[in-house]
Amino acid sequence: MSDHTAASVIEQSKHDCEAALQYEFRNRELLEHCLTHASVATTRLASNERLEFLGDSILGMIVCELLYHRFPEFPEGELTRLKSMLVSRLTCADIASRVGLESCLLLGKGLASSAEIPSSIKAAVVEALIAGVYFDGGLEAARRLVERLIAPELERATQKTHIQNYKSLLQQLTQKMTGQTPVYQVIDEKGPDHSKCFLVSAMIGSQTFPAAWGPNKKEAEQNAAKNALLEIQGEEP
């Protein structure tokens, strides 16, 4: 590949990246640095690894702040679980694929010709670009980028968290309303020892709520907590 052709490829990659991010870099060299994998860099310091290191922390900080303000009723443990889902390498790799960053990466010949780019490389470029936008446009620009990139994952994660943590939501509600903590009681069980089902009810003080079945005690308690929440809200369990 001639120098002119290589330069054209790099410029196209930068243009495509800016379109994917909906952000235009003032510092074009910084953008190229963000996209440069170690496999094609002249030295490790010329790759995006240091930017990836910083971007990981910037991403974590912005996501923590976002979750803190968006979910004022969530305790620390719930926020920690959500954060770990949203800043994971898997989530970052999914974001890279979703917005089309894979084609923007500057890779060595071996990686560029492979059928599938490793998820670790895709995750790393997202983190590097977050750091790049932070340096190029400041914290507010980085925050806008992270919130835009993470929005679909945040929606899925919060839906999943609500589904899986009825017990936590019920405890928060009852402690606010009555100062009491729900207690769960096994009402019945059936099936062989290796495959039992459990019927569990939630109790708050002297009040017992409609029981629910589950394939294990943990899921039965979650279902019982859901029934209790529905009844408290005046809905049919």
Read off the CATH number of the domain in which 65 is found: 1.10.1520.10
Q: What are phi and psi of 202, to 5 degrees?
A: -95, 140
231: alpha, beta or left, given left = phi > 0 and alpha = psi -120 to 50? alpha
Q: What is the pLDDT of residue 4?
A: 53
What is the extent of the structural domain holding 177? 166-232
Domain boundary among 164, 183, 198: 164
Q: Which residue has the tokens 């030295």?
A: 43
In a domain, 90, yes or no: yes
Q: Are 143 and 181 in the same domain? A: no
In a domain, 237, yes or no: no
Cα gap 107→95, rounded to integer Å: 19
Say yes or no to pLDDT of 115 above 70. no
Domain boundary among 164, 191, 215: 164
Q: Are 194 and 157 in the same domain? A: no
Say yes or no to pLDDT of 65 above 90. yes
User: Which residue intervals of 71-117 are DSSP H helices?
Assistant: 76-86, 89-99, 109-112
pTM for the structure as a whole: 0.69
Q: Are 13 and 54 in the same domain? A: yes
Instruction: Determine whether 236 is an active site residue.
Output: no
Q: What are phi and psi of 21, to 5 degrees?
A: -85, -15
Q: Between 237 and 207, where is the model more confident?
A: 207
Q: By three-state DSSP, how is residue 1 classified?
A: coil
Residue among 50, 122, 121, 62 nearest 87 (CA)? 62
Q: Are 134 and 180 in the same domain? A: no
Say yes or no to pLDDT of 2 above 60. no
Q: Are 26 and 85 in the same domain? A: yes
Which of 32, 56, 136, 221 does the annotation list as catalytic? 56
Cα 113-117-120 angle, rounded to 5 deg: 145
Q: Are 130 and 40 in the same domain? A: yes
Instruction: Determine whether 56 is an active site residue.
Output: yes
CA distance readout (Å), 142 to 23, 63, 192, 193: 10, 11, 55, 53
For residue range 10-40, list pLDDT tens digits in order: 899 999 999 999 999 999 999 999 999 999 9
Cα gap 169→219, rounded to integer Å: 15
Cα 205-160-213 angle, rounded to 5 deg: 50
Residue among 148, 163, 169, 127 nearest 66 (CA)? 148
Name beta bridge partners: 7.
none
Which of 32, 52, 78, 127 does the annotation list as catalytic? 127
Q: Are 136 and 182 in the same domain? A: no
Would you place residue 172 in the very low, low, confident or very high pLDDT band (cuts 50, 70, 90)?
confident
Q: Are 39 and 154 in the same domain? A: yes
DSSP state at residue 36? B
Length of the chain counted residue by residue: 237
Q: Are 141 and 187 in the same domain? A: no
CA distance readout (Å), 158 to 26, 151, 162: 35, 11, 6
